[in-house]
Structure 1
Amino acid sequence: MEAQLMPKESSARVNAGSGSGMPGPGGHGRSTKIEKARDPRGAVRRLLQYLRSQRWLLLSVFALAVVGTILALLGPFLMGMAIDKAIKGSSLQELLRVSLLMLGVYLGSWLSQIGQNVLMARAAQRVMRDLRAHLFSHLQTLSLSFFDHHPHGDLMSRLTNDMDNISRVLSQNATQLFTGFLTLFGILGMMFVLNPYLALGSMLVFPLMFTLVAVVGRRTRKGYRGLQARIGQLNGQLVEMYSGQRVIIAFAQQKTTLKRFDVANEAVRQMGIRAQTYAMLMPPLLGILSNANTAVIAGLGGCMTMHNKTSVGIIAAFIMYSRRFAHPLRQMGNLYNQV
């Protein structure tokens, strides 16, 4: 019954185990075994039922995301147009017209992003309000045996950490994932429209970027899953220590409790270093590949310009698109770590 409104997340979870436990009700031991999601599709379906009541707000959010992404992708194209037609042609009037158009495009993209963030935050908080209310009311229907067999710390983790994770996914990650895919496909489409040969030259580096995100992201996610598991263990111990402090003092278990806390605290530190180390590898490595792609575009574009196969403006637009290509990849790598 409790599984219906308390879905198992695919993120790291600490199981109740048979290790060293805390005295008092609900003070069962906890292990650092990462619990796998039993029914992720069912959990997503249940979450979609809550989102259905906010469908008009969500449709508005995704519409603004599409508009904002399209406007953002027009910026480099207009810059290339300004270089080729306005600057090269020495037309001040044309340069002013294109510059004002670029200003309008970037302003529209900025306003669209603000609008989608505001609407998504409103929809997400309404969903979280309903979810918290249903979860709390469900807890009131559970039997005493349920609370005896589940550690207080684990229940508190579900009521706080899990709810915060769901709120973050709804308010930030969902729109970032959608706009990230739109941006990637939009950049590839604009590149092939502007110059197929330069686009094919960029394909030498883009697959390396995808491979890097997949390989490093897999290791980073594993580290963050372990970190969340150990943070759950640490939080669970803190809750159970505070709730059972009288029993701890009565049985003179302060030193044993402190040693157990030190072990859990050290495990969080070590796993945090490991997870952050992998996470910090992504930006500089993507930056190196982005610079390599810029070199490829500049070299190939320069040769094509000498043979009148492309223009300086198109090369400049390609360099901007190449720089932007790494940003959604980095975002999706970060989202993969948090899911």
Structure 2
Amino acid sequence: MNTFTPSSTNPVTMPPLDLAVALYDHYESIDEVKHYYGLLAIYALARAAELIHDNTALLNRCRNILKRFPLEIKHPNYNFINYRIGGIPRAYMLYRGHMTDEATRIYVHEYAEQLMHSPRSDSGVVLNMRRQNEIARQMVWIDVAMPVTPFLLFAGLTFGQPDWIDEAARQTFLHYDELLNPDNGLLHQCKNFTVPGAVTDDHWGRGNGWGLIALTELVQYLPADSPHRRQAEQYFVDHTRALLPHQSPRGLWRQEIPLPTAWEESSGTGLILYGYGVGLRLGLLPADQFRPAFDRGIAGLRQHAIKADGSIELSCPGCRCPGEGERRGTVAAYVEDKQPYRDEPHGAAPLILALTEEARLNQSTNA
């Protein structure tokens, strides 16, 4: 298995919001931003724009990016229908009042309704729209919490639809209940992909990040009197605490989180740090324990995962129950069969999200 030795590279010292935009610029320069990880990058860019004092130009840029969906995009084969209209960032921009055009309102409402009526597994989780045969109907994977929960949450808040908000929370809780390892508080990625009723052996870094970002949006945006708030906060605190002991000496979390010989992975680290930043701002996480971990993580990303030209390192390639035969879903398959490379596209959004929380925490500290 691979281990990484400390890098001699100097850390990137650019201010966090400038660096966040630079990461997006670089990503956009090498690929069309449209896949689910691209939509999350647009969402992260919108969050960065809100923190910039003179943000009109950047918010306009976000609007123009999203107005290309769905008619000006050559769409790939999506797993979830809401990707077609810009997914999470389209719903967020509408919720925040940054996109109030009638087309956006129609699109978000229509696709939230479609998502509410999409097929479910026997346990109630939303199904991948391309995998609805009898075997696939029982497949559960934590990645699904990311596209479903925030989209329904923002749409429900915008249109005053409590059933959409209820379903947003329900989908995340269902995934945690199916995939949580009670022995260590970490998530497995998949269930029913290998043997019926079995979870994969992993505690994959980005998979834990996918679950945590869904909880992070719930604790940020659920109304104070929501019947789901107490459960969302408890799940969030429990998961963030379970992750804390596994931060590496360089400040990152690993591809297989509890395995000290696994390689350090940046996209999962970025998502975890985003959750930590939000938890610190909301007072859900004690600063004496979590602020040092957050600061070490940001420093680690700046030194080992982010380059001065906006390129990124150490992000895991697309990964869903890797391996073949008896190897499928094993820790070895997650660690050995998946290797990072420069500018792996899943990594941009998590790093931008982490940087937006660096900026927010810096602003609150300096206020």
The TM-score, its normalising length taken from structure 1, stands at: 0.23
User: In terms of Rg, which structure is larger?
Assistant: 1
Higher relative contact order (CA 8 A, sep 6+): 1
